[in-house]
Structure 1
Amino acid sequence: MSDLVTGEAVVLGLRAAKLPSRGLAVALDLAVQVAGLVATTLALSLLAPDLDGAAVAAVTIGLTVFFLVALPIMIETLSRGRSLGKTALGLRVVRSDGGPVRFRHSLVRGLVGFLEIIVLLGVPAVVCSAVSSEGKRLGDVFAGTLVVRERVPGAGGAAAALPPVNPQLLQAIGGELVALDLSAVPEPLWLAVRQFLGRIGELDQAVAHQMSARLADDLVARTGHPVPYGVHPAAYLGAVLSERQRREWTRAQGYAFQQAQQQAQVQRQQQQPWAPTPPASPVTPPVAPLAAPPVPPSPPAAGTGFAPPA
């Protein structure tokens, strides 16, 4: 059993592949690669028989690098750590933290593997794999990878790791899950639960039960709700994770509906016909009333000799 640990300190318990199975897988891969190299070389010799010695040497070197270095790197990268020989024997290359390999890991493994397996006839690979407790060769040491067994005897997938659970019992705890407070559960714990449930089919049954019980205890410590009696810890983890995903989906749907309503309201406002505002009537200033004309003074009376003052 390998002591493989993820970034969330979750022990995976995968079984590392040893020298016999790895050697047989490498032999199958090399047989296919050499057969492809020979067939391609013969086909080119028949199609272009007039090539000179330098061209033949260049083509031969190019085909050798392609079939023995480039092709294994591409296959391992695209298949996430598998090859023809590893698939036949149920093996897979993973990172030291249990994640899938990437191009840089496959590149280092391919270049170092060409030196230690092809150039040096596999002697360093055999010695290193025999000495290592996890069966690593030099390419795995430099790339930080590990070859594990995917088909573990006695573990028939997730169905074999999980015992049968009474559906009525799961239906009975459904109401408790709806009322469960999940706000105190940190995101790293959710990530550890998802990774464990995704790889439960690759684990030994005893290891899977221990890990599920430990994760369930961590979940109970943050929610304050114990695991119901008779429910497997892994089944309870799956039910709680499904409830959290349901809440997130409901919240996302509500947010999307609110955004759609706001967008529809904006569109309705933009589509309303524009009505021009009537111009305001001009304000006429008040007209002052006309003043009465002044009354001229009356003329003096005749014969009195009195004239009024001006």
Structure 2
Amino acid sequence: MTSHAAHSSGRALQAARLNDDLIVTGEAVALEVRPAAFMLRVAGGLIDATCYVIVLGAISVGILGRLDNQAQTDTLTIVTFACVAVVAPTLVETLTRGRSLGKLATGIRIVRDDGGPIRFRHAFVRALAGLGELWLTAGSVAVVAALLNGRGKRLGDLLAGTYAVRTRGADRTPPPLLMPPELADWARDADIRALPDGLALAARRFLDRTGTLDPASRAELGRRLAARVEPLVAPPPPWGTNPERFLAAVLVARRDREYAVGLRARDALAETTAELRRLPFGVR
């Protein structure tokens, strides 16, 4: 293996381990984006809060005229505040995978610390924490936390393991990998949970650059990466499997499983929402 190929692999692994601003998707695609600027987050948050207040406030005003007593009015006020502060942000960020109207307008997105899309748990924790740090304290706690954190995280992000990244103008990602047909059955049952993001990133970058490497360096680097990945996968691939095709199969399986988890979470949320709508609430 030439020194150039060795250095390329070393830089990939070093970036995955040391660069706090490197986002790694489920397919181990590196998106070298920076955390969203503080003022962008503030602007996006204000847009979101305004939208929630206007929409839910208009609905509440329409219902107020039908209420008969103060108790029902108080209940409606509490329900509206809960929807504005917790329910609406949770549903919007879960269904849009971290992109609300305010975030779309400012070109930012909420992602997990490993760069993957957020799910219901992350959105709910962020919204629940926001009840205190955004609404009850007029955003002062969130501002202080964001200014003290290198990634601009507020308390909700720290608890949920998320942060905001700038997506507008980001570099285009490579085309998705395809599953080698001869390894599809093996990959379906293989356990790849132990594969760390850094090693997956190195493998993905290697596969993206195979056409630019010297043939001897390409073969040697492929064998070395496959030798590092194989102990973390069970069962091992069939004997004689090409290292590059083995790496592609592992990354495709990793990507598809994360996507399946996201679909299950979305379906569970939709089912829960449907059940809640059928409950006999006093205020409709």
Which TM-score bucket, shorter chain as reference? 0.5 to 0.7
Aligned CA distance change for structure 1 residues 221 and 215 (closer, same or farther; 3 Å): farther
Helix, strand or coil: the match of 2:78? helix
Does residue 1:58 correspond to 2:57, yes or no? no
Contact preservation (8 Å) 1:96, 1:146: yes
Which fold has the larger relative contact order, with Cα–Cα distance below 8 Å and residues 6 or more apart in sequence?
2
CA displacement, residues 189-243 of structure 1 (integer Å, 9 cap, x when unaligned) = 99936995xxxxxxxxxxx8x995599879632547xxxxxxxxxxxxxxx66x9
Does residue 38 of structure 2 align to residue 30 of structure 1?
no
TM-score by length of 1: 0.52
SS state at 1:93 partner: strand
What's the CA shift for 1:102? 1.1
Deviations 1:26-52 (A, max 9, x none): 000011011113211210123x15x21
> Do 2:29 and 2:201's aligned partners in 1 also have CA atoms closer than 8 Å?
no
Contact 2:23–2:33 (CA<8 Å) still a contact in 1?
no
Flag the structure with larger Rg: 1
Moved over 6 A (4+): 7-10, 214-218
Q: SS of the counterpart of 2:22?
A: coil
Change (3 A) 1:79 1:214: same
CA offsets, 1:124-180, max 9 Å, x none?
111111121111111001110011111136x3x24xx89xxxxxxxxxxxxxxxxxx
Tell me the equivalent position of 1:221. Answer: 220
Unpaired stretches in structure 1, ≥5 consecutive residues: 163-186, 197-207, 225-239, 249-310
Instruction: For 1:229-308, list aligned pairs within 5 A.
Output: none
Conserved? CA contact 1:90–1:150, under 8 Å: yes
Q: Do the aligned residues in 2 keep the contact of 1:36 with 1:67 (CA within 8 Å)?
A: no
CA shift, 1:53, in A, is 0.7
Does the 8 Å contact 2:108/2:166 carry over to 1?
A: yes
Q: Determine the structure 1 residue equivalent to 2:111.
A: 94
Structure 1 pair 215–58 and aligned structure 2 pair: CA distance change class (3 A): farther
Aligned partners of 1:104, 1:54: CA distance in 2, in Å?
A: 33
- Aligned Cα root-mean-square deviation (Å): 4.2
State yes or no: 1:4 paired with 2:3. no
Instruction: Determine if the alignment matches structure 1 residue 127 to structure 2 residue 135.
Output: no
> For residue 192 of structure 1, what is the aligned residue in structure 2?
200
Q: How many residues of Structure 1 are paired with residues of Structure 2 in the alignment?
A: 192
Give the distance between the partners of 2:196 and 2:62, measured in 1 at CA. 57
Percent of aligned pairs with the same amino acid: 35
* Alpha-carbon contact 2:30-2:201 (below 8 Å) kept: no
- Compute the TM-score of the two structures, normalised by the length of structure 2: 0.56
Cα deviations across residues 282-306 of structure 1 (Å, max 9, x unaligned)? Answer: xxxxxxxxxxxxxxxxxxxxxxxxx
Q: Against the structure 1 CA distance between its residues 136 and 216, is the aligned structure 2 distance closer, same or farther, given a 3 Å change threshold?
A: farther
Match of 1:140 among 157, 167, 189: 157
> Structure 2: which 5+ runs fail to align?
1-18, 176-191, 224-243, 253-284
